[in-house]
Amino acid sequence: MEVAVLGATGYAGCELVRLLCRHPGVEIAFVSSESHAGSSLDLVHPQFYNLFELELQPLRLSAIPESVELVFCALPHGSSAGVVPGLLAAGKRVIDLSADFRLRDPELYEIWYSRTHPVPELLDKAIYGLPEINREAIAGAELVANPGCYPTAALLALAPLAAKGLADWDSVVIDAKSGVSGAGRTPRQPFHFPECTENLKAYRVADHQHTPEIEQCLSHLSGGSVTVTFTPHLVPMARGIFSTVYLRLQRGCTADQLDQLYRDFYGGHPFVRVLPPSRLPETRLVRGGNYCDLGLRFDRRAGRLLVLSVIDNLVKGAAGQAVQNMNIMCGLPEETGLTQPPLC
């Protein structure tokens, strides 16, 4: 199957090319970049020298070959919404890595992204692409909204509790840390090396745009309205997300019962690894892989459950999850092209 990658020189787009160029079921037939059109990808990302030689094209829908069946949009937030309607009209299936189609309510999009959604009629058509909770819907989707990196880590930590009605939502605090690549490839002062190194800081406190995405999915799973406290932090590493979720339970459960709950919920989902009690998640142990590692600890003295969740923000938090969604959409084994171990 032929695919296209729009925005191939950004971090997520580059990671898509890395995964897809060795995927046994696809051929990349078109790659675009507004800032580097006319160049080869290896001039922007030298690791592709002699490995991927397709020329980067300007983003014109008419230039995408008719033979392309599925398009990955790795474009900046706000840009995908202008492109996706034309792709769907041309009969392409689309996986969008931006935030443009993740929220079902256009008013929420306007509040959190400070712009009016240009095609609100497509929001109900988009399927939220978290395979561990939406696999069946993804299989028949024409448009998949790939989840954000922070929501992926947080939702995989909380989904089993939401589905079983165990979480006391008034108590939920999501304390999340991300590597700097989560801010994208465009240079900006706060992400300059001297500003980031030897430093740890919170940002967008009580105001981060991933908050409604997390709440929307948890509300759907739990069958009620959910509000959480979500605080993101920037840490001086290139890749990775570490989320520690603190909460109280609605009713008593033993550690063994909780462990079994998570193992049952993620049984048959190859990319969520529930760790044994002797281990705790570490970002370096998922680097470069499409895995989410989860660890559970119950603080009996405080009466709180702690769920620790780690992912590579560019793989399971972006490009890897997009490939996972493609596999499901196209009837391929879900793990095709994604089983390489992390780079520890």
Q: What percent of the chain has pLDDT over 90?
A: 91
The residue among 312, 14, 265 whose CA lies nearest residue 152 is 312
Separation between Cα atoms, residue 276 and residue 188, nearest integer Å:
40
Identity of the residue numbered 318: A
Rounded mean pLDDT of 173-193?
A: 87
Separation between Cα atoms, residue 256 and residue 245, nearest integer Å:
19
Question: What local confidence, expressed as pLDDT, does residue 8 receive?
Answer: 96
Segments making up each domain of the chain, as ranges: 2-125, 150-313
State the virtual CA torsion across 241, 81, 71, 30 in degrees, nearest 10: -100
Burial (CB count <10 Å: 0-12, 13-18, 19+), residue 224 = exposed
Rounded mean pLDDT of 277-294?
A: 97
3-state helix/strand/coil string of 264-291: HHCCCCCCEEECCCCCCCCHHHCCCCCC
Separation between Cα atoms, residue 180 and residue 168, nearest integer Å:
32
Separation between Cα atoms, residue 320 and residue 303, nearest integer Å:
36
For residue 248, is pLDDT > 90? Answer: yes
**Does the 2-125 domain belong in CATH 3.30.360.10?**
no
Rounded mean pLDDT of 194-210?
A: 92
Separation between Cα atoms, residue 107 and residue 103, nearest integer Å:
9
By annotation, the residues acting in catalysis are: 149
The CATH class of 150-313 is alpha beta
Separation between Cα atoms, residue 227 and residue 219, nearest integer Å:
8
Mean pLDDT of the chain: 95
- Cβ(282)–Cβ(307) below 8 Å: no
Angle at Cα 132 formed by Cα 131 and Cα 134, nearest 5°? 55
Q: Which residue has the higher pLDDT, 77 or 162?
A: 162
For residue 201, is pLDDT > 90? Answer: yes
Identity of the residue numbered 25: G
Give residue-wise pLDDT tens across range 89-147. Answer: 999 999 999 999 999 999 999 999 999 999 999 999 999 999 999 999 999 999 999 99
Largest interatomic CA distance in the chain:
63
Give residue-wise pLDDT tens across range 13-54. Answer: 999 999 999 999 999 999 999 888 888 999 999 999 999 989
For residue 298, is pLDDT > 80? Answer: yes
